[in-house]
A and B are shown apart, each in its own frame.
Chain A
Amino acid sequence: AQSVSQHNHHVILSEAASLELGCNYSYGGTVNLFWYVQYPGQHLQLLLKYFSGDPLVKGIKGFEAEFIKSKFSFNLRKPSVQWSDTAEYFCAVGWSGYSTLTFGKGTMLLVSP
């Protein structure tokens, strides 16, 4: 079955620390990969997406992610987090030809000032 795993449910960092959130998906095939962010009380917003091409993808607010096909991974990174990055982050995978996105359970990031 298609599944998406996010390794950390909660992450606490100090401002200016570097961030890496892990995401793995269950099996191969052609995939489209997404990271969404959900700020408290707000809707899901797209941070970045990968469809094809350069496996290093840059998104909004200084976030980037790297697709490693051999590891079925799409990890999210940011060199220096800010207090305003406090939010829940969701990795999502769309297998080509399917209607759905499959989401991970999310990682709650708390950045302390």
Chain B
Amino acid sequence: ETGVTQSPTHLIKTRGQQVTLRCSSQSGHNTVSWYQQALGQGPQFIFQYYREEENGRGNFPPRFSGLQFPNYSSELNVNALELDDSALYLCASSHGQGADYGYTFGSGTRLTVV
């Protein structure tokens, strides 16, 4: 069973609203990465947090923001939701900040924007 926990599992929001997704990382992991997986696509990197600082960002607009807390858990916030934001949002934790380490993925949050 995965050590990464995400909540909620499913969410329906209206266009223009704001949403917060949460992630608890695997024990011993100090880095959290967020990915967006649209239907029929592979996961796309949103950003990564290491020691509470953003450490790398993919091609996503500023309305996608995040936080990492001292216990290494993390939040993904999306403002002004658009229909295209509908996707599975995956959180992955690792020990270390680069792609030199393996990642453990959570089960994801399925966000539907209507």
Contact = CB atoms under 8 A, between A and B. Distances in A.
B105 interface: yes
Contacts of B48: 99-100
A103 interface: yes
Chain A contact residues, majority secondary structure: strand
Size bin of chain A's contact surface: 20 to 34
B8 interface: no
A55 to B, nearest CB: 18
A98 B106 contact: no
Nearest to A105: B42
A104 B41 CA distance: 8
Given A103-B44, A106-B41, A96 B107 contact: no
A74 interface: no
A100 B90 contact: no
B2 to A, nearest CB: 5
Nearest to A30: B100
B43 A43 contact: no
Nearest to A1: B59
A18 B94 CA distance: 33
A68 interface: no
A4 to B, nearest CB: 8
Interface of B: 2, 4, 33, 35, 40-45, 48, 55-56, 58, 90, 92, 97-100, 102-108
13 contacts: A32-B99, A32-B100, A43-B2, A43-B90, A92-B42, A95-B99, A96-B99, A97-B98, A99-B48, A100-B48, A101-B45, A101-B92, A101-B99
Given A43-B105, A98-B99, A103-B42, 15 more contacts: A32-B100, A42-B107, A43-B90, A43-B106, A44-B90, A97-B99, A99-B45, A99-B55, A99-B97, A101-B45, A101-B99, A103-B35, A103-B44, A105-B41, A106-B42
